[in-house]
Every structure is written in structure tokens, then in C-alpha cells.
Structure 1
Amino acid sequence: MVKVKICGLRRLEDIEYVNALMVDYAGFVFAESKRKVNLNQAKRLAERLDRRIKKVGVFVNEGRDFIEKVKSHLGLDVIQFHGDEKPEDVAGYDVEVWKAIRVSDVKSLKEAEKYPVQKILLDSPGRTNKDVAYGGTGVPFDWSILDDLKVRFPVVLAGGLNPDNVVDAIMKVKPYAVDVSSGVETNGFKDFDKMKKFVERVRVL
């Protein structure tokens, strides 16, 4: 069964929602974003999270000391690097590590092979003119780029997923997990009905 990660949790209601749906991974963003949480906020949320749900900390070009501090305080199960980190930046952690790759072409996929990680997260390029968005754009990339994808890691598919396109995405890409944030929000906040529909559509496959 394809796993489900709901990312960008920042309210107690969000925790209640993921607990009720019993998703597989809950993501807390520690990078500049409207979904960013600080360590104290994240700790309060994580304490309410069902222990069967794995905690993922999402970082963008962050220092190792801060990442280790968050990992220790929250009891992170997964560290997700979502920036421009080099392979040496993601090595040496004692929990599972994911590296996000912004997919624009086949060449960008080959970059994934350089990273000493357990899973690769494939996300949209997220570029607007000269600006770079590190995830959470709500825009899918061209999944056909992945038709001949052969990487040695399980793939977590992100980028513009929502209840209406997630089944098609899974059928085309066959990922280990799907990762959603803005696709299950209304007016910038997590929407339980959208989350429920998303999870149900993944789990009937």
C-alpha cells in the first residue's frame, strides 16, 4: 500500500485530523514558509501526535546543530532535506534521511544517485522567473519524465498532488509514498474533508 505524508502541520486541529485519518507520516516545516513552525510549536504538536505516525522534520539549507536539536526535542523519525544541500550535508544522521529533488528534466533525476539517503522525494521545480520555491507550490511537474526512472531509492512523490490527481499520479509513477500539503488546504489551512478524500483515494489502490 502506498504510504501517505501530510506536510505543513501547524495547528492542533491539524494533528487531530492526521490522528483521525492515521496517515503514515506527519511533516513539520522548519524553513521559511507560511507553514513554518518553531521548535516550541512543533513540540506541542508532536506531543499530541499518535505515536504510530512517523514525525518528519523538513529543513532547507539548515545547519547541522539546529537539525540535531530539533531531532532530539521532537524525536524525529525522518529528516527531510528540501534545499540545495550537497551529498555530504545529508550524511551522518542516525535517523532516516530523505532528500528532495526538484524535477525539471532527466538530468535532475540523476542527481538523486549522489545522495547517501534512504528515500528520494521528487518535487516540482517551483521556479517563478528567478525565484526558487522550495516545495509547497501546489504545482505538479511532468510525471512523464519519470517513465524510465530507475533509482536505487524508494520514491516519495510530491508537487501539486490533490484528491483529484493522486490516483493518476500513483498509477503513473508507482511511488513508495505520496506527500501533500497545499492540495488538502482551503484558504491556506488544512481541510479535513480534503485530507480524508485524499487518504481514501490512496488507500483503495
Structure 2
Amino acid sequence: MVKIKFCGLRRIEDIRYVNILKIDYAGFVFSKSKRIVDKDSARVLIENLDPEIKRVGVFVNEEIDFVAEIVNSLHLDIVQLHGKETDEYVDTLKSLLDVEIWKAVRIKGNENFIFQRADKILLDTFVVGLPGGSGIPFDWNSISNITLNKPFILAGGLNHLNVEKAIEILRPYGVDVSSGIETDGYKDFEKMRLFVEKVRK
């Protein structure tokens, strides 16, 4: 079954919603974003999260010491890198932390999808000035015949109206959504429920 990640969780209501829906991954943003959470706020959210849901920290071009502090303090399961982090950066993280690492690739043309160091690849839409969370899908057919050397998570403009088609075309390991399950910038339980229903269908 395709895995589901909800990203940009920042309210206790968001945690209640994901616990009800039993998704696979809960994402918390620790870099500059309208969905950013600080360590103390994230701790409260994670303490209330169903322990079977994996905890993902999202970072963009952060110092390794900062990432390590957040991971160790909050006992995160996964680090999602959404900036220009190099393979050497990933190697250093792996030497310091016992976590899975995802590396985002922003689709804009002929990308190099070979990331030997990251455990999984996250495919997102390229938008100038935005590392992610744009709410804009890329052309899924443009990469439908590319063989990736790692499991991949599909992101970028997904919602309950298009996620079935995206899965049909690309057959991803998982799907990642943030703005597509929001209304007026906040997580919307009905949109979340519909998204989960479409994916699991």
C-alpha cells in the first residue's frame, strides 16, 4: 500500500487528526516556512502523536549540529533534507545519527536522480524561491519512464482530487501533502480524510 505523509503539522488539532486517520508519517518543519515549529512546540506535538506514526523532521540547508540537536532531542525517525545538501553532508549525518534520510529533488528538467547516500528520494515541484510547500504539481508524465535507484515519495500539489491519478502514473513508495489538505492555511480534517480515502482505495 502507498505510504502517506502529512507535512507541516503545527497544532495539537493536527496531531489529533493524524492519529484518527492512522497515516504513516508526520512531518514537522524546522526551517524557515509559514509552517515552521520550534523544538519545544514540536515536543508537545510529538508527545501526543500515535507512536506507530513515524516522525519526520524537515530541514533546509541547516547546520549539521542544529539537525542533530533536533533529532536527538525529539527522537525523530527520519530527516528530510529539502535544500542543497550534498552527499558529503548526508554522510556526516549518517555517521552521527541513527535515522533514515530522505533527499528532496525539485523537478524542473533533466534531474539526476541518483542519490547514493540518501535512503529515499522525495520528488517535489521546482518553484523559484520556494524549497517546498508550493501546492503546485509538476508534470508527472515527464518522469514516468525514468527508473529511480531508490524508493521515492511524491510531493508537490497533491490533493484528494488528483492523488489517485498521480499514483496510477508513477507508482510511488509514498505520497507527501501539506497545502493540499489545508483550508486558509490550516489543516482541514475533511480534506485529510478524503486524501487518505483516495490513496488507500
Backbone CA RMSD of aligned residues: 0.8
* Count of equivalent residues: 197
Give runs of aligned pairs for residues 103-182 of structure 1, distance below 5 A. 103-105=107-109, 107-108=110-111, 110=112, 112-127=113-128, 132-182=129-179
C-alpha distance in 2, partners of 1:115/1:38? 31
The residue aligned with 2:81 is 81
CA contact (8 A) 1:10 1:35 kept: yes
C-alpha distance in 1, partners of 2:144/2:24? 26
C-alpha distance in 2, partners of 1:115/1:85? 13
TM-score of the two chains, using structure 2 as the length reference? 0.96
C-alpha distance in 1, partners of 2:135/2:186? 13
The residue aligned with 2:189 is 192
CA contact (8 A) 1:122 1:155 kept: yes
Match of 2:99 among 82, 89, 95: 95
SS at match of 1:113: coil
CA positional deviation for 1:114: 3.5
CA positional deviation for 1:115: 4.1
The amino acid across from 1:194 in the alignment is K
The amino acid across from 1:88 in the alignment is E
C-alpha distance in 2, partners of 1:8/1:98? 16
CA contact (8 A) 2:115 2:121 kept: no
**Matched-pair identity in %:** 52
The amino acid across from 1:49 in the alignment is L
CA contact (8 A) 2:136 2:157 kept: yes
- Once superposed, which parts of structure 1, at least 4 consecutive aligned residues long, lie more than 6 Å away? none
CA positional deviation for 1:140: 0.2
CA positional deviation for 1:117: 1.0
C-alpha distance in 2, partners of 1:65/1:188? 31
The residue aligned with 1:71 is 71
> Can you list the C-alpha shifts for 1:47-66, whole angstroms capped at 9, x where unaligned?
00000000000000001111
Structure 1: segments with no counterpart, 5+ residues: none
> Can you list the C-alpha shifts for 1:132-162, whole angstroms capped at 9, x where unaligned?
2010000001111212111110010000000
